[in-house]
A and B are shown apart, each in its own frame.
Chain A
Amino acid sequence: MTPPPGPVPDDCPQPIDATTLMDYWLGALQSTDEEPIEEHLMGCDHCGDRLREVIALAEGLRTLARSGSLVVVISDPFVTRAGVMGQRVRQYAPPPGGSVQCTVSAEDDLLVARLAADLSGAERVDLSWCDDRGVELQRMSDIPVRGDTGTVLCQQSITMAKSSPSNTLIARLVSVDSAGAEHLLGEYAFHHTRTIPGPGEWKPF
Chain B
Amino acid sequence: MLEALRAGRLVEPEKLAQFTLGTCRMTVIDLRRTARRQERLLAEFGSDLIPDPPPIPQVDDAQLARCVQLLKERERTVVVLTFYDEQTAGEAAGFLGITETNVRVIRHRALRNLRSCMEATA
Do A and B bind? yes
Q: How many residues of A contact B (CB 8 A)?
A: 43
Bound form: Cα–Cα A32–B96 in Å = 28
Residues of B within 8 Å of A72, CB to CB, are 73, 76-77, 80
Closest to A126 in B: B73
Are the C-beta atoms of A65 and B80 separated by less than 8 Å?
yes
* Complex partner residue of A69 from B65, B79, B87, B112, CB under 8 angstroms: B65
Are the C-beta atoms of A144 and B73 separated by less than 8 Å?
yes
The smallest C-beta distance from A19 to any residue of chain B, in angstroms, reads: 5
Residues of B within 8 Å of A140, CB to CB, are 73
Chain B contact residues: over half helix, strand or loop, or mixed? helix
Bound form: Cα–Cα A67–B77 in Å = 14
Are the C-beta atoms of A78 and B57 separated by less than 8 Å?
no
Are the C-beta atoms of A58 and B80 separated by less than 8 Å?
no
Bound form: Cα–Cα A75–B97 in Å = 12
List CB contacts (< 8 Å) of B25-57 with chain A: 54, 56-57
* Complex partner residue of A61 from B68, B74, B88, B97, CB under 8 angstroms: B68
Residues of A within 8 Å of B76, CB to CB, are 70, 72-73
Are the C-beta atoms of A56 and B83 separated by less than 8 Å?
no
Query: A179-193 interface mask toward B, CB cutoff 8 Å, 1 = contact, 0 = none?
Result: 000000000000000
Query: A71-106 interface mask toward B, CB cutoff 8 Å, 1 = contact, 0 = none?
Result: 111111110011001000000000000000000000
The smallest C-beta distance from A127 to any residue of chain B, in angstroms, reads: 8
* Complex partner residue of A19 from B73, B89, B111, CB under 8 angstroms: B111
Q: How many residues of B contact A (CB 8 A)?
A: 38
Residues of A within 8 Å of B95, CB to CB, are 75-78, 144, 146
Are the C-beta atoms of B57 and A56 separated by less than 8 Å?
yes
17 further interface pairs, Cβ-Cβ under 8 Å (given A141-B73, A144-B74): A18-B111, A22-B111, A23-B104, A28-B88, A57-B59, A57-B114, A61-B68, A64-B61, A64-B65, A64-B68, A66-B84, A73-B77, A76-B95, A77-B95, A81-B87, A143-B77, A144-B73
List residues of chain A with CB under 8 Å of any chain B CB.
Answer: 18-19, 22-23, 26-28, 48-49, 52-53, 55-66, 69-78, 81-82, 85, 140-144, 146, 155
Question: Can you give 23 contacting A-B residue pairs, CB < 8 Å?
Answer: A18-B115, A26-B82, A28-B88, A28-B89, A28-B104, A56-B58, A57-B64, A57-B111, A59-B56, A64-B64, A64-B65, A65-B79, A65-B83, A72-B73, A72-B80, A73-B76, A73-B77, A78-B80, A78-B84, A78-B87, A140-B73, A144-B95, A146-B95
